[in-house]
Chain A
Amino acid sequence: MNKPLRRLLLLTVAAATPLLAACPAWQPDAWTPEEKEALKSLWIGNLASPPPNPSNRYAQNSEASALGHKLFFDRRLSRNGNVSCATCHQPEKNFTDGLPLAQGIGTTSRKTMTVVGTAYSQWQFWDGRKDSLWSQALGPLENPLEHGTNRMQVVRLAATAYGSEYEALFGPLPDLSDTSRFPEAAGPVEDPTAKANWAQMRAEDRDAVTRAFANLGKAIEAYERKLVPGASRFDQYVQALQRDDREAMRGALSEDEVQGLRLFVGKAQCITCHSGPLFTNNEFHNTGVPARSELSADTGRAQGALQVLADEFNAKSPFSDTQQSADQAHLRFLKTGDHQNLRAFKPPSLRNVARSAPYMHAGQFDTLQQVIAHYEQAPKAPQGHSELTPLHLSSKERDQLERFLRALDGPLSTPAELLAAPQG
């Protein structure tokens, strides 16, 4: 190398050195203070207990949780005696079902979301059409494609199978023996007989049944609140990083996984929506996910925002355990009728994402590879406006990102007996 050229090169390197110190991608384990903050914000050590839910005064009640645990796995809570919450929310599949579209009595138009960590979210379902776990749990019971039952049958089952537990918690159940007042099947459902029966019931009887139905949802929430994620190798890495323990860091994540993490918080901008220790902001985004041709157009949050305001079980409803305006602020200030809600969906938690395939709100992608390719390309949204811009990732970078996502696997921080049907 000739002398002037070498000098020029050395000068350039010297000039670039401060930049490198600020952005040390060349050293796998070197992070800027800003990046360290970002990593720490994703660390499970920053995950407190689920926030209180004032709309459910039984949310933290352990007897309610024990009852909810039984209800969650009880297949009798269905039209054909074969569908429980656990049919779609299978503990061994991170409380999802491995299917593109949820399958109960029939096939729905959305993929099953996990229940793990959802107690931290203000909004439930892909479109946030429910504002609590207890109100969420009630929806599928009366959906003809899911449990396909009705609230009267649900409350009847509770009376015969769980009567004493129910009454110890919630007080007396309505006396359902008079079938002229309380028909065998009744509820505001699609089934014409149950619907007609419901319509001709006295208002106070309907109210008593609905109240008991809501209480069962509150018990299910008390159980579901205990389904929280535990530490992954990523969390071990962040913990080691805080002690500056290089050896433990290298033991927790491989070099490729660390590069994937760097992309996650940097160039790939995943962290903008997949933020916080649950790797989700629990809000709604249009990321241009393709539509499934066999399904009708899904407007996502646009519809969900209207539905949650009209929901008979929302935090403002008579079945909510709070009427404080501060506890209802999420409804009061909610934006509806806005273009940005069109085809926007909730980003799911990425914890245990490798066990949650397929992906997206209607299971459009089978693999993480396909998901990453989608974000890389940033196609135009079928409806509304996609927030994505192309990422320009190399195939190596896409691979590193996927490796990092797989390092978010970890056992739940939930007692083992709660991860299976209750014994006895």
Chain B
Amino acid sequence: MQRTTIKQVMSKRQWLGALGAIALFTGGCMSMMKGVPSDLDYSTARATENGAFRLSYKTDPALIPISKLHQWTIHLETPEGKPIDGATITVDGDMPQHGHGLPTRPEVTQNLGNGDYRVEGMKFQMGGWWIVNFGITADGKRDQATFNLMLK
């Protein structure tokens, strides 16, 4: 069977049409992610905003399920890495693109010791870009940390 090359069968008009189509298709694909800043930091450990503490988290299960209650364990320490117990911690989550938050009000339910805290009532109802904010009061200081998550 004889094969004709693209060059042989395409006119100038078709070329331009094809380019337009490429722009459309790639544009369509990009729009899935529209509004999500490209430079988001998705790390799970960070200094709090004013540098008062360091905070990290682990989720159970490790791959965050959608529309399912699950638990997190957070770890709080000084900037030098010394665990902090007895802190008061609030939790909240938001989807910045959609103008809504979590369907739940999660709580820190237990200080597990060694700077670890259990967070119950976490539930994300949809995939996409989420932010989870922790407000921390400890050692006479207040600070907060916000984590970015991209859920599938």
Contacts and interface: CB of A to CB of B under 8 A. Distances in A.
A335 B29 contact: no
A260 to B, nearest CB: 14
A22 to B, nearest CB: 7
Contacts of A340: 99-101
Contact of A16 (B22, B31, B120): B22
Interface residues on B, range: 20 to 34
A37 B63 CA distance: 14
A25 B103 contact: no
A26 B19 contact: no
Interface string B1-29: 00000000000100100110110011011
A26 to B, nearest CB: 6
Given A335-B104, A387-B99, A25 B126 contact: no
Contacts of A295: none
Contacts of B123: 333
Given A284-B103, A385-B99, A26 B25 contact: yes
Given A272-B127, A333-B105, A23 B26 contact: yes
Interface string A375-401: 000000000010100000000000000
Given A267-B31, A281-B125, A281-B126, A19 B22 contact: yes
B104 A333 contact: yes
Contact of A332 (B21, B32, B66, B121): B121
B120 A333 contact: yes
A94 to B, nearest CB: 22
B126 A335 contact: no
A281 B107 contact: no
Interface residues on A, range: 35 or more
Contacts of B18: 13
A1 B99 contact: no
B44 interface: no
B19 A9 contact: yes
A276 interface: yes
B141 interface: no
Interface string A316-336: 000000000000011011110
A60 to B, nearest CB: 21
Contact of B126 (A267, A272, A330): A272
Contacts of B115: none
A147 B69 CA distance: 34
Interface string A321-361: 00000000110111100101000000000000000000000
A271 B152 CA distance: 10
Interface string A8-43: 010011001001101101100000000001100000
B102 interface: yes
A273 interface: yes
A361 B28 CA distance: 31
Given A1-B12, A266-B32, A267-B32, A37 B120 contact: no
Given A13-B18, A25-B29, A387 B100 contact: yes
Contacts of A414: none
Nearest to B128: A272
Given A20-B25, A329-B120, A275 B103 contact: no
Nearest to A273: B126
Given A13-B22, A329-B121, A385-B99, A266 B29 contact: yes
A334 B107 CA distance: 11
Interface of A: 1, 9, 12-13, 16, 19-20, 22-23, 25-26, 37-38, 266-267, 269, 271-273, 275-276, 281-285, 329-330, 332-335, 338, 340, 385, 387
Interface of B: 12, 15, 18-19, 21-22, 25-26, 28-29, 31-32, 66-67, 69, 98-107, 120-121, 123, 125-128, 152
14 contacts: A1-B12, A22-B29, A23-B25, A23-B28, A26-B21, A26-B25, A266-B32, A267-B32, A269-B32, A281-B67, A282-B67, A285-B125, A333-B123, A335-B101
Closest 10 CB pairs of A and B: A333-B121, A23-B29, A283-B125, A340-B100, A333-B104, A281-B67, A25-B25, A16-B22, A19-B26, A1-B12
